[in-house]
Structure 1
Amino acid sequence: MFIGHALLAFALVASVAAFRGWPRERALTVGIVAGLFAAAPDVDIAYALVGVATASVTDALALAGVFWQTGNLVHRAVTHSLVVAVVVSVAVGLVTSWRRAEGGAGARPAGAAGLVVATALVAVAGAVSGVLGASVMGLFVLVSLAVAVAAADRTDLDAKTVASAALVGVASHPFGDLFTGEPPAMLYPFEVTLVAERVTLHEAATLHLLSAFGLELATVWAAALVALWLTGRSLRTVVDPRAALGVGYAASLLVIPAPTLDLSYPFVFTVLAVGAIGATPRMNRRGRTGADGASAVLTGSPVVGRFAAFELPDRYSAALTGLAAVTLAWLAYSVLYLVA
């Protein structure tokens, strides 16, 4: 999942920046920029929409199969490369330098050089992988340069910092894909295989999937804890006890097929839906706006009571409570699966 890639890069870069003494807000900013770059390689999955648009099936699972079957023609083939990460980070640095120069003497040459490097990357992809490869690489380059322009225009990060964030983000991406599906072409465009087979966490297909999902959750938690640390919030105060309801998801073992990499959609989609628990209104027994600024809506229900109210959780509480609920759901399901 591209979210996991983004959050891994965020956690790495933001925490390193903070430990180096950067102000917390600046560390958050550079972490977010790195996360955006880390998500960019997965734009190659956009080609899967071609398969969905031309598919003759309407069943949800069948459409999901068509989506991945089409997307895998180019997914992890040209954008998930350490070599590409180095080259695109150079282009990003040059374009950022151009935007930061704001018309200065070095602006035009830097911008031109960045476009040359980016165009060369697309041209090489076309020579090695044809029109489809060039198209996918072109989309990836456009997204990466758009992030660079946004970072230059909306932050005070210099070109070297943005380029470094791009390098960490794009280069870290393929390592997260070693546990699911076919390993990425990590040294593209060179015909050298760095990793030939998927990293297997367990011989049993279902336990491998559950373990990989657990790693994804651990990545999300790492990013969440870094964000809480840098924003001065406490995990205890943002996670609502309602997250414990996620344990009830274990009962889905009776109705959902045991998940594997080939049939993961029913499990993944439903277990993630448990996260909606975090966004549901919660009871405010004082009948007024909470200390965190959440709005309270008084009700006239005799069951609720005169001084009771519902309030919407703030975005931090909603996100972390939802994450906790999903984590408990995964843990309960895994334990029950092992027992059963």
Structure 2
Amino acid sequence: MFVGHAALAFAIVGGVAIASGWSSERALAIGVVAGAFAALPDVDMVYALVGIAGASGSDALALAGAFWSTGNVVHRAVTHSLVLALPVALLAALQAVTATRRVRAVSALVATLLVALIATVGGALAAFVTLLFVVGAVAVGAVVDRYTDLTATGVFVAALVGLATHPFGDLFTGEPPAMLYPFDAALVTERVALAADPTLHLLAAFGVELATIWAAVAVVCLATGLRPTAAVTRRASLGAGYAASVLLIPAPTLDLSYPFVFSVLGVGLLGVLPQVRLIRSRGPTVEPPDWLTAALTGLSAITVAWLAYAVAYVVVG
């Protein structure tokens, strides 16, 4: 769900901005900001690099296993807390306020108190993750302040939506996030099961992520007037051939998803191959740039491949 987190926040905030009458540029800008903050909680996976560094051998599955087993020591705790989302969003918003001595002092105080609090509750490792989280929020806020005209309120809302929606996207995979951290209470205690069959559950979770990405595409289309049929080529239909992989790769589950995920994403490379445009609908359209044509064709090919594999799995199974 790494991409899905950002896509969902972008779609929500960007879509609301468009519906509220914002200009296309500002609506897309605040959507991107929300997406950036939605991706930020996964900064805790930096710790997983320790596992990769200590892994023996170069087998891809072994490295992936070391990455996740080490990262999960701290993953989905501090940075996935709805309680901490509010002060971290405030820290980001303070970067968009005129940098007076008082503002800098408040920002430093909030950051220090957060790290100190988590150090007291969770120890040095949790404090380190909190520091990464805080620094990331401040950095994103500073970039937003420099390159956009968004107000502090706009940054705060976008950051809060991004940070607050992230943990809900993780309810379909792995252990539920500690949404009330540092309090010793659980908002959700079990993973949301989309299907009893573990393979169908994984396929459904993958479908949810694809849906969030397409929602983000829809917002871009609303903002720019682009028609997806003007950017997607016939090569996307070649993704249907991925159905044959049901006989070639192990049935994917949350515990063994890499063969499926990496191979189905590889189908997206069809988007960068020579393009043969679809017949467009009548009426004015925005001519898409080549990179967008490649991206949307690749995304369409992945979507077709996912659907084809799901149908094949049900039929063969």
Calculate the TM-score normalised by the size of structure 1.
0.88
| Equivalent position of 2:33 in the other structure | 33
Q: What residue identity is the alignment partner of 1:58?
A: S
Measured in 2, the distance between the counterparts of 1:159 and 1:30 equals 12
Q: What secondary structure is seen at the aligned counterpart in 2 of 1:281?
A: coil
Q: What residue identity is the alignment partner of 1:254?
A: L
Contact in 2 for aligned 1:96/1:162 (Cα 8 Å): yes
Q: What residue identity is the alignment partner of 2:156?
A: A
- Pick one of 244, 267, 270 that aligns with 1:274: 267
| Equivalent position of 1:235 in the other structure | 228
- 2:57 aligned with 1:81, yes or no? no
Shift in Å at residue 225 of structure 1?
1.0
Measured in 2, the distance between the counterparts of 1:72 and 1:119 equals 25
- Pick one of 103, 116, 124 that aligns with 2:117: 124
- 2:84 aligned with 1:108, yes or no? no
Shift in Å at residue 292 of structure 1?
8.4
Calculate the TM-score normalised by the size of structure 2.
0.95
- 2:141 aligned with 1:148, yes or no? yes
- 2:187 aligned with 1:194, yes or no? yes
Measured in 1, the distance between the counterparts of 2:63 and 2:94 equals 41
Shift in Å at residue 281 of structure 1?
2.1
Shift in Å at residue 221 of structure 1?
0.5
Shift in Å at residue 326 of structure 1?
0.2
Shift in Å at residue 114 of structure 1?
1.4
| Equivalent position of 1:261 in the other structure | 254
Shift in Å at residue 89 of structure 1?
1.1
| Equivalent position of 1:70 in the other structure | 70
Q: What secondary structure is seen at the aligned counterpart in 1 of 2:79?
A: coil
Q: What residue identity is the alignment partner of 2:71?
A: G
Q: What residue identity is the alignment partner of 1:195?
A: V
- 2:174 aligned with 1:174, yes or no? no
Q: Deviations over 1:182-231 (max 9, x none)?
A: 00000111111100000001111001000100001001100011112212
- Structure having the larger proportion of residues in helix: 2
| Equivalent position of 1:323 in the other structure | 299
Worse-matched range after superposition: 84-93 or 70-79: 84-93
Any residues of structure 2 matched to 1:210-229 within 5 Å, and which? 210-229=203-222
RMSD: 1.5
Shift in Å at residue 314 of structure 1?
1.0
| Equivalent position of 1:309 in the other structure | none
The structure 1 segments of at least 4 consecutive aligned residues displaced by more than 4 Å after TM superposition are 291-294
Shift in Å at residue 158 of structure 1?
0.7
Measured in 2, the distance between the counterparts of 1:6 and 1:115 equals 27
Q: What secondary structure is seen at the aligned counterpart in 2 of 1:268?
A: helix
- 2:202 aligned with 1:209, yes or no? yes
The higher relative CO (CA closer than 8 Å, separation ≥ 6) is in: 2
Measured in 1, the distance between the counterparts of 2:164 and 2:137 equals 13
Measured in 2, the distance between the counterparts of 1:62 and 1:256 equals 17
| Equivalent position of 1:50 in the other structure | 50
Q: What residue identity is the alignment partner of 2:147?
A: R
Contact in 2 for aligned 1:95/1:115 (Cα 8 Å): no
Measured in 2, the distance between the counterparts of 1:195 and 1:117 equals 28
Shift in Å at residue 2 of structure 1?
2.0
- Pick one of 164, 167, 185 that aligns with 2:157: 164
Contact in 1 for aligned 2:230/2:287 (Cα 8 Å): no
| Equivalent position of 2:314 in the other structure | 338
Answer with 1 or 2: which has the greater Rg: 1
- Identity among equivalent positions (%) equals 59
